[in-house]
Chain A
């Protein structure tokens, strides 16, 4: 049983990683993602697949149909009230799955200096981290990593792209086990 659980965990981790590596569609789906309606772009596609135990597809999981990206205003690290339920759901999931690990990847839009944007991305990741801890997640379940403006979700050079680039992504299973 233990071996099975481990296998399941690895499978889950791998699928989740694949899910995050797939690009987010540029238009419609990303907008849905922000509205919080439906599954959102981040949770559709490769990692879905109806694998039992996928917390994003398991109706009994706090992460069921949850987003795994939250967005920020310009030069701000404040989690919006719209995104708080998402962060809260991730916190509850971590609290009830002590073996699960998450890396919070912080990002910024391309404006301004690269190093300041690294700091800003970290502030965003830390803001999310605090909320996860408040939901009962343990500190050792959470890592933060800021990429600043280096890994944009969208390539454009205007607010249409920037709004999707100022973000924190939840990447499960990539922290040290």
Chain B
């Protein structure tokens, strides 16, 4: 049929890039004297729609309009930190590393980077730092660094983090990276700083997948996008004239499952992000939706109505074996795995209105989890499994709620009336969700403690159904060097 040809066909361009990094040799303790190298296969999707598809689909280009992130609420009590613009040798580096790091840390809501104009000095190395200057500014921590070209399109980036009051270096790393990966290096630096100072892993080197819809209701174009967690580098995964829903990340962050109506029916695909190759995994009569990867990455929970009404099934992606988990005449949908893979939470209206229920991953009896609000749906576990985020409806107001699974306490964390699709950051610090500002669909991210709120807005069109990726591919940090008393007061 004609519609079959309107599939997004993508060609990817895999870029092999090598990150190598070493602890600063001069500062390394003997037992840590080692050079760690790491090869990351960075994938830059240059999706090029080819053939008929490119003529029909206006969003055929892989590079889409970026999301703009606005910080709307924060940062009371945030920790002051000075991030000095990195030094550069020769031509200026193609990315302003310090500014990327500063905006990462600011977005977290836990840090208040000093404005650049307030910096008293511009040191780039430990020996250039006069801690007394920085103490006078009342800043707790200081980041300095340097970017040095070491070959065509190759850079060496180094940074150091200091405790200003102790006058000691907390950590420092050196990276080698291609020009294309400098933003990734910056996010890695943010992750290291965040973890060093808060004790929790950072989630800056991560991505988000989301669906955009542009055009009028007569001729809407839907697009599945993947961007860095700061909204940069948006890449098109799929473009369609028919709705795209429910993107879900594989646990290793390399694949997305989603529901597409591109063939005028509901079908679930699993697509490899780097190559654009995809498999059709469900195309039964009726509903085929709500895909959710098991923590092992080998099974996909989903909703199918092929046996009469919406039920939860688990598909083994290798063997294609399909196991039915629910048998109830009501609607059962939106399965989400507990992080340990032992149970699933799902939405069911078996009690009348939609509420969340939990059952073992093998199926069987389900226990109702939610008792507040008229309506509870789209439950998702926090990465540590201690909390459940959901859409809670009360009258005409639908907001994101978080339930503490130990105490049972429920808190509403969003503040508008059509909030939906909650998704936790992989470190559990923030919840990303979809909301409406006026008539435009936008995304928002709120810290789980409610202190920080950001909006993620497209210049034109709606953005919705955002899901935060798992942790990104990391430089393997096997040891952290720590040289104290670098510059005694």
Contact = CB atoms under 8 A, between A and B. Distances in A.
Contacts of B160: none
B375 interface: yes
A120 interface: yes
B43 to A, nearest CB: 28
Contacts of A75: 349, 353-354, 375
Interface stretch (B62-70, B179-187, B261-269, B479-487): B261-269
A44 interface: no
Contact of B217 (A113, A120, A144, A151): A151
A23 to B, nearest CB: 6
B436 to A, nearest CB: 6
A89 interface: no
B123 interface: no
Interface in A103-151: 110-116, 118-120, 122-123, 126, 144-148, 150-151
Interface in B395-412: 396, 398
Interface in B109-131: none
Interface in B245-298: 245-246, 261, 264-266, 286-287, 289-290
Q: How large is the interface on A (under 10, 10 to 19, 20 to 34, 35 or more residues)?
A: 20 to 34
A152 interface: yes
Summarize A's interface: helix, strand, loop or mixed.
mixed
B439 interface: yes
B455 interface: no
Given A110-B418, A151-B243, A157-B439, A115 B218 contact: no
Contacts, number: 91
B393 interface: yes
A116 B354 contact: yes
Nearest to A103: B264
Contact of B334 (A21, A113, A145, A151): A113
Interface residues of B, number: 37
B420 interface: yes
Contacts of B305: 119, 122
A94 to B, nearest CB: 19
Contact of A118 (B218, B265, B287, B393): B287
Interface of B: 217-218, 243, 245-246, 261, 264-266, 286-287, 289-290, 303, 305, 309-310, 331, 333-334, 347, 349, 353-354, 375, 377-378, 391, 393, 396, 398, 418, 420-421, 436, 439, 465
11 contacts: A75-B354, A110-B418, A112-B398, A113-B334, A114-B246, A115-B333, A116-B349, A145-B265, A146-B266, A146-B287, A150-B261
